[in-house]
Amino acid sequence: MQNITKHQHITRASGRCQTSYCHQPNNCHLWHRDSYPKLLSGVGKTINVYIALTEVNKFNGFEFIPNAKKDRNLSVKMTDPFSGNNFFEVTEKLAENSVPVILKPGQFVMFTDELIHRSVCNTSGQVRLSLTLRVTQPSVEVLPNYNPNYQQSVLL
């Protein structure tokens, strides 16, 4: 693991998320993996480190589906034209297994680019702030158009 990028998540109290794929209010409900074929090149694993800067709970954070392997046959609902990230159709039955992420400020979770997850609408009345670090193998190159605040990868 050598390359590292950072990505800030800000979800306003209105529920509007400001990530690359959340420019429209309702997009925060879309199930996806953090896989960005137009922003990363090469083959290798990516690990996300999601660090809560404010409290994360089931009313403002995100949820994931346990054991949703990459070979699970999910149909693609749409693709983010900027990142190439796919959004999936997830059945109600599968969504019933979702688990909310609960974190206090300063706590973090780690997950790979295989995890199916989605943001939930922020109905907490509080702004949610977090920082996501993405760590990849040296075989994965972070492309310069990763985000408007692109900075060179840090080699550890």
The residues of the shown chain that bind Fe ion, judged by CB under 5 A, are 34
Residue nearest to Fe ion (CB): 34
Query: Considering the complex, what minimum distance in angstroms separates the CB of residue 110 from Fe ion?
Result: 13
Give strand ranges (E) for 12-115: 31-32, 40-41, 46-52, 62-65, 76-79, 86-88, 99-100, 108-112
Q: How many CB atoms lie within 10 A of CB 60?
A: 23
Secondary structure of residue 84 in the 3-state scheme:
coil
Query: Considering the complex, what minimum distance in angstroms separates the CB of residue 91 from Fe ion?
Result: 20
Secondary structure of residue 95 in the 3-state scheme:
helix
Query: Considering the complex, what minimum distance in angstroms separates the CB of residue 82 from Fe ion?
Result: 14
